[in-house]
Structure 1
Amino acid sequence: MDTQNIYSAVSQHYGSLATDAAQLSRGYGTSVAQSFGYSQEELADVPAESNLGLSCGNPLAMTSIREGEVVVDLGSGGGFDVFLAAKKVGPTGRAIGVDMNKDMLALAEKNKASSGAQNVEFVEGQITKIPLPSGIADVVLSNCVVNLVPEDEKQLVFNEVFRLLKPGGRLAISDILAKKPLSDKLRQCVSAYVGCIAGASLVEQYKTYLREAGFADVLIQDANADLNVYMDTLPDGTKKVNKGGDSCSKDSPSETLGGCCGPKSTGTPGDSETASENTAVQPNLAKMASDIGDVDLNEWIGSYKIFAVKSPEN
């Protein structure tokens, strides 16, 4: 897969999620977010459609965000973490979301209007070249987005983070990383790439990116999260249980595979079987199941916490 094809596939896929009713349902997003450490109070305090269930962790929990600070969120989507950060920085601070997808930005602006937040803004741009001035941020966040950047451009992301941060500024990222080298078949699968899997870097690669960017102190920790939460969560937030009692049946991977790109209902209105069983099918990940076969995602990838501080001397 070349770089442009990756960007096109990612943009098309996530643009479709910004307008999908199943993705926008509060039930799915709430269930997934709670699985990754967000509290009920946090979830109740943001616009309902800002949380699309695309998280793989809670980066805000990694660092204390203080009143008056400037927070930049890379790949901000519907604005979920931006609105949470805005609550923490207060009226004297700023929360800025950066996203390349016009549909996601439109959704974020809609959510901003409904929230009435005055300290929130959204900027269009790729996270490899961010249209913001150097030294603007006290904190840079990102949640399950860097893995979507092509491997040959990932270093640019961390260079940009370092540039944006003030001396002493903090980086807090939740991301999908590979536990071992991925197979060529998995790496070349477009559906697995937009599903936050095929683009996952190894932990040591991630450390190298951060150090090359200028970060001296880097902490990367496996959150030990069960990534099957994406497979097993239905649009209403309940858990899928197959007729055989196994929530992730080898015999029906196309019906159970999900991903950080979330669910999408393929049932048509009035479909009695779909309605009665409340089956959520993510077409992209169903295709991945067909492309690569039965794969235990937790064996290959994991949700990781990444934290780094820019030296006060830089």
Structure 2
Amino acid sequence: MSTTSDIYAAVKSHYSAASSNRSTNGTYESKVAQAFGYSEAELSSIPKESNLGLSCGNPIALAKLHEGETVVDLGCGAGFDVFLASPKVGETGTVIGVDMNEDMLEKARRNAQNVNGGKGAKNVKFVQAPITDMNGGVESGSVDCIISNCVVNLVPEEEKPLVFKEMHRTLKSGGRVAISDILIKDGVELPENLKKDMGLYVGCVAGASLVSGYQKYLKEAGFQDVLIVDKGYDLNVYNADDENVNGEGKSCCGTTAPAPVAKSCCGTTTAPSPIAAKSCCGTTAQTNGNGLQQVKVDLKTLDFNAYAGSYNIYAVKA
């Protein structure tokens, strides 16, 4: 498809834009979250701006968090799952949100000030780091539970083993992984034109691993009791039309998206990115200076469920 640096650049650009793009009234984001297992009560308990409609599951429900635990959220974005985990671990616990994207972390820190009726979340902190290397941000053997929501699939395939090794490094003995991710179903082949589409990559489909591949990565990293379950959620919810949604802030698999001026990873202003500015559901093909393929087909007609699924992934460090 593209070089590793090309992929990371496209992912950063897309999610920098997503950090500032929400639907006018939050209808789309709420619809997506509820489609993947979040309750209205959960959504109303956290800042609305933390929900960007980027979920593919509910790792909080899987994690079964306890008072006093230390939790790390890989690819925390605007803090959505971090703020839901915060009251579960209580004042004696800690939730660490890790993300490589400065724009997302800036938004997450602003959102943190609005938790608990404006009192803030005192047991929450955010760390800027790639999830392939959190040294300096998360200590070895310090974490009880690792959560993540639709993020690992964004890591280039050749670097995915590093993510699972980092999970193993940071967890305590007996610590657990409880994540939600999009995986390609075993025995299913994603068409070549879809594999090469960068819009689908930043939208969490083209870079997704096979179920068997995920199992292999976890076991090779040293995990046991690996359990991977297809939740049967409808991935086509990303393409659902809603008259109250103007397209802003939709995931790459949603409908149209605006073309904001995105910040670079250094925080400076850059020209609008062709990856971030166009929805992957357009019909025109486009290539940027790095040779990344833009959209070739109308993805509104594509049944994502035929190729991929939303999976719960659970594993334990021996």
If the length of structure 2 is used for normalisation, what is the TM-score? 0.82
Corresponding position of 2:45: 45
CA drift of 1:184 comes to 2.2
2:159 is the counterpart of 1:153:
yes
| CA spacing shift, 1:182–1:265, aligned 2, 3 Å | closer
Higher helix share: 1
Q: Secondary structure at the match of 1:96?
A: strand
Alignment of 1:86-235 (within 5 A): 86-115=86-115, 116-130=120-134, 131-179=137-185, 180-234=188-242
Q: 1:190 corresponds to which letter in structure 2?
A: M
Of all paired residues, the percent bearing the same amino acid is 51
Q: Are the counterparts in 2 of residues 27 and 235 from structure 1 also a CA contact under 8 Å?
A: no
Aligned pair partner of 1:305 in 286, 309, 312 = 312
Structure 1 CA distance for aligned equivalents of residues 80 and 54 of structure 2 = 10
Matching residue of 1:283: 278
**Which deviations, in whole Å up to 9, do the C-alpha atoms of 1:215-254 show, x marking residues without a partner?**
12100011101011110053847xx9xxxxxxxxxxxxxx
Residue equivalent to 1:66: 66
Q: CA deviation at 1:21?
A: 3.7
**8 A Cα contact 1:172 1:307, kept in partner:** yes
Quick one: structure 1 residues 172 and 261, their matched pair in 2 at CA, closer, same or farther if it must change by over 3 Å?
farther
Q: Deviation at 1:25?
A: 4.4
Give unmatched runs, 5+ long, in structure 2. 260-276, 285-294
- Counterparts of 1:91 and 1:74, CA distance in 2: 21
Shift of 1:26: 2.6
Contact 1:68 1:90 in 2 (8 A): yes
In structure 1, give the amino acid aligned to 2:308: I
Q: In the alignment, is residue 3 of structure 1 matched against residue 14 of structure 2?
A: no
Superposition CA RMSD, Å: 2.1
Unaligned runs of 5+ residues in structure 1 are 241-254, 268-281
2:12–2:101 contact (8 Å) kept in structure 1? yes
Which deviations, in whole Å up to 9, do the C-alpha atoms of 1:57-86 show, x marking residues without a partner? Answer: 001111210001001000000000000000
The 1:86/1:261 distance shift into structure 2, 3 A limit, reads farther
Instruction: Tell me the distance in 1 between the aligned counterparts of 2:26 and 2:213.
Output: 35
1:113: how far off?
1.4
Report how many residues are paired: 278
Structure-2 separation of matches of 1:36 and 1:260: 17
**Residues 96 and 120, structure 1, Cα contact 8 Å, conserved in 2:** yes
Partner of 2:85: 85
Cα displacement (A) at 1:2: 1.1
After superposition, the Cα gap between the structure-2 partners of 1:110 and 1:261, relative to the gap in structure 1 and judged at 3 Å, is farther
Q: Which consecutive segments of 4 or more residues in structure 1 shift more than 6 A? A: none
Distance 1:95 1:235 in 2: 36
Secondary structure of 1:114's match?
coil
Q: Distance in 2 between matches of 1:262 and 1:135?
A: 39
2:280 counterpart SS class: helix
Q: Does 2:33 correspond to 1:26? A: no
Deviations 1:18-60 (A, max 9, x none): 11142x7432221111111111111111111011110000011
- TM-score, normalized by length of structure 1? 0.83
Quick one: distance in 1 between partners of 2:283 and 2:123?
40
Residues 71-117 of structure 1 show CA distances to partners (whole Å, capped at 9, x for unaligned) of: 10000000000000001001110011000111100100100112211
2:281–2:297 contact (8 Å) kept in structure 1: no
